[in-house]
Amino acid sequence: MAYENYTIKDIAKALNLSPSTVSRALRDSYEISAETKQIVLEYAEKINYRANPIARSLKERKSNSIGIVISEIANTFFSQVIDGIESVAQEKNYQVVISQTNESSERERLNIEYLYSRSTDGLLMTLSSETTDLSYIERLISRGFPIVFFDRVPNQIDAFKVIADNKQGTFDAVQYLIDSGKRRIAHLTGSQRLSITGERLEGYKNALAANGLPFNPDLIKYCEYGGLHLEEIEIAIAELVKENYDAIFISGDKLSTGYLQAMKNNAYLELNTIKIAGFTNSKVVNLFSPTITAVSQPAFEMGKQAAELLIRQIESKYAIEEFETVVLPTSLIKE
Amino acid sequence: MAYENYTIKDIAKALNLSPSTVSRALRDSYEISAETKQIVLEYAEKINYRANPIARSLKERKSNSIGIVISEIANTFFSQVIDGIESVAQEKNYQVVISQTNESSERERLNIEYLYSRSTDGLLMTLSSETTDLSYIERLISRGFPIVFFDRVPNQIDAFKVIADNKQGTFDAVQYLIDSGKRRIAHLTGSQRLSITGERLEGYKNALAANGLPFNPDLIKYCEYGGLHLEEIEIAIAELVKENYDAIFISGDKLSTGYLQAMKNNAYLELNTIKIAGFTNSKVVNLFSPTITAVSQPAFEMGKQAAELLIRQIESKYAIEEFETVVLPTSLIKE
DNA sequence: CTGAAAGCGCTAACAG
DNA sequence: CTGTTAGCGCTTTCAG
């Protein structure tokens, strides 16, 4: 493992200068003569000098890396978010370090503490389905560690947040179902602990109310793990069938595709007339059969804005006092 | 930005020990008495001491991070690979740093040099469609920088490689088309520069030959950017239509879904009888319409094995002399 | 304008 | 078994 690189010392020695002069020349300090600068820069270029970022990090107490904590990388929505984050990070010279929780709060905690102790400069995260205890996250934040939340955000914590307009997105989709003549609209959704679950439920209720339809709790089915396990969904469907629903609104990517899979599994062929709408960021949603009306989140944009806020916070000289929550519009892709 | 942490010095001072003793105690060195160890460990636990990995990295000349260079994160295949990589990295205490090229060799080069200069301990990569010049990669490798290739690998370079059995996977799929009675089987594929393109073409030819069918070059269409731009595919289809093909084998995830999209775009409704098979790692391929027979790569496993090889190479005391190429079986998911 | 020296937090000879 | 010291590569006072 011996691929040696040049150091500032090497340059200094070669040019008969002191390391500090070389360092300053490389950083284009005002105290260095144009002449010296040129000599140093030319030589550095010639030997293809690369500053050692680890040494710099140690000195500056800053690693120029940001951590991402999500439930699952191999998920259309999250991978699009990462894409957005990466685009900003690249431009601003930050490294992106990834970790996933698979919806486990235990794993979430380990990942966060690991990323913190590995001196990432800040974190971008979305809560896992299981999470209830946020105290350790609050502690990190109160110690000044920058964390920006996106998608599934904690209400109790004051921080930058970037979310989709879940209420409106849901409203639009449910309205679409109603406009199609449906009346008994089921709602398949994720963990009650998550912010998005509440926001979407609200949009669902609003749409019903706006159209004078009654709200029926029996038509709401929660999947603790957001469809990570297909059985969750199958159980929910079995219960819904008894309720005689004529349409369904689904609150999550995995839940939506999982529901379609379950339909396809033949058991429910008689349900062909049920109209389906749901959140999904699949780019091939128009190929699906049964067809589905999709509520798509601006995932790339969400990652982008979250990363920008995080970097702004990291680079801010003063502790941020006013945190904002960015709300991005969703789009409805009709079947 | 002031979240101070305890250092070894703090512990030393508090316990009236020297920093080196504390360091050794924490690392469970044999030269430290059980008693001292206990005192140190207890105190460290109490104040929740976390070693500063940056300082350690500087000292050890090792960052415990590995870089990933892929064309696109938001792609089912690659995100599954990342998932596999992450699972190994987590277990072995490495951070995973991600970058994407969007098939640009320019971007690829920048990313690689960046990851190298940012002292990742090694790289996992798949070549971009555009790449022709590998000399700088060879230079890095010859300087002892560990790089493991997966999926799209360079033939000229001797290194660990992990690939799918593209030849066999293609053979099986084409055989399936032939068994369905098809005779004029088109082949839609990616850049000629990529290893996978050649391997799959070979499998295609073999299947034809094994069944006594003629090979017709007019039925082969290359898409330089692997379907990154939909127009590539539409042009190819327009040409294929003239050839009167009755089935098609598609060599890539984006190409496969892109082809289906193009079909859906109505222009080709008369082609409904054309049977489709192709590489894709979509987890919802069974929901697609038109239907497609999928060749699926063991993406997670590929990432896992590549990461294991890389870490083995990183941690090896000696320069590796014998590089192996791991070939993993694909699976055929019939429509 | 340039150099000497200290220090970021950690580890590892070397001495005792 | 423990402490002293030097040093990883870089930046940054402080002196000149």
What mean pLDDT do residues B237-252 have?
Answer: 93
Q: Render A251-298 in DSSP notation, one character per residue.
A: -SHHHHHHHHHHHHTTTTGGGTT-EEEEE---TTGGGBSS--EEEE--
Range from B179-188, B242-251, B317-326 carrying the lowest mean pLDDT: B317-326
B88 half-sphere exposure, CB direction, 13 A CA radius: 21
pLDDT tens, position by position, B286-298: 999 889 999 999 9
Residue B79 host element (H or E)? helix B76-91
Residue A3 has its nearest CB partner, among B63, B86, B145, at B145
pLDDT tier at A324, thresholds 50, 70, 90:
very high
Which residue gives the smallest C-alpha to C1' distance to C9? B55
Closest by Cα among A75, A140, A164 to B74: A75
Angle at B24 between CA B20 and CA B29, to 5 degrees: 150
What mean pLDDT do residues A178-205 have?
Answer: 95
Cβ atoms of A245 and A213 closer than 8 Å: no
Supply the pLDDT for residue B201.
Answer: 97
Q: Is A314 on the interface with B (CB under 8 A)?
A: yes
Distance, in Å, from the CA atom of A314 to the CA atom of A144, rounded to the nearest integer, reads: 10
Residue B96 host element (H or E)? strand B95-100
Q: Is the pLDDT of residue B268 over 90?
A: no
pLDDT tens, position by position, A112-139: 988 888 889 999 999 998 888 999 999 9
Q: Which residue has the higher pLDDT, B190 or A271?
A: B190
Q: Is the pLDDT of residue B1 over 70?
A: no
Q: Is B139 on the interface with A (CB under 8 A)?
A: no
Supply the pLDDT for residue B271.
Answer: 63
pLDDT tens, position by position, A281-315: 999 999 998 899 999 999 999 999 999 999 999 99
Supply the pLDDT for residue B20.
Answer: 87
Span CA (B17) to C1' (C13), Å: 19
Q: Is the pLDDT of residue A1 over 50?
A: no
- In the block, tokens 């005779």 appear at B183
Residues of A in contact with B118 (CB under 8 A): 53, 95
Q: Render the burial of A138-152: b for 16+ CB within 10 Å, e for the rest.
A: bebbeeebbbbbbbb
Q: Is the pLDDT of residue A31 over 60?
A: yes
Distance, in Å, from the CA atom of A316 to the CA atom of A121, rounded to the nearest integer, reads: 12
Q: What counts of helices (H) and strands (E) characterise chain B?
A: 12, 12
Supply the pLDDT for residue A272.
Answer: 74
Tell me which chain A residue has its CA closest to the CA of residue B263.
A287
pLDDT tens, position by position, A248-259: 999 999 999 999
Supply the pLDDT for residue A218.
Answer: 95
Q: Is the pLDDT of residue A317 over 90?
A: no
Cβ atoms of B280 and B309 closer than 8 Å: no
Task: Give the pair of three-digit tokens for residue A245.
Answer: 């629903």
What mean pLDDT do residues A25-44 have?
Answer: 88
The amino acid that residue A48 corresponds to is N
Task: Give the pair of three-digit tokens for residue A28.
Answer: 């284009």
pTM for this model (two decimals):
0.91
Neighbours of B50 (CB within 10 A): 16
- Is the four-CA dihedral B165, B170, B171, B175 of positive or negative sign? positive
Distance, in Å, from the CA atom of B193 to the CA atom of A318, rounded to the nearest integer, reads: 51
| Window B:27-86, CB contacts with A under 8 Å | 50-55, 57-58, 62-63, 65, 72-76, 79-80, 82-83, 86
> Across all residues in chain B, what is the average pLDDT?
91
Q: How far is CA B187 from CA A327, B84, B275, B296, in A?
A: 45, 30, 12, 17
Top residue of A49, A57, A140, A301 to mutate, by most chain B CBs within 10 Å, is A57
pLDDT tier at B117, thresholds 50, 70, 90:
confident
Q: Is the pLDDT of residue A4 over 60?
A: no
pLDDT tens, position by position, A63-81: 899 999 999 999 999 999 9
pLDDT exceeding 70 applies to what percent of chain B?
97
Min Cα distance A103 → chain B (Å) is 14
Angle of helix B195-210 versus helix B166-179 axis, rounded to 10: 40
What mean pLDDT do residues A221-243 have?
Answer: 89
- Write the DSSP symbol of residue A334: -
Distance, in Å, from the CA atom of B313 to the CA atom of B317, rounded to the nearest integer, reads: 9
pLDDT tens, position by position, B134-172: 999 999 998 889 999 999 999 999 999 999 999 999 999
Span CA (A6) to C1' (D11), Å: 17
pLDDT tens, position by position, A259-269: 999 888 766 66
Which residue gives the smallest C-alpha to C1' distance to D5? B20
Strand C at less than 7 A from CB of A33: yes
Tell me which chain B residue has its CA closest to the CA of residue A110.
B90
- Write the DSSP symbol of residue B288: B
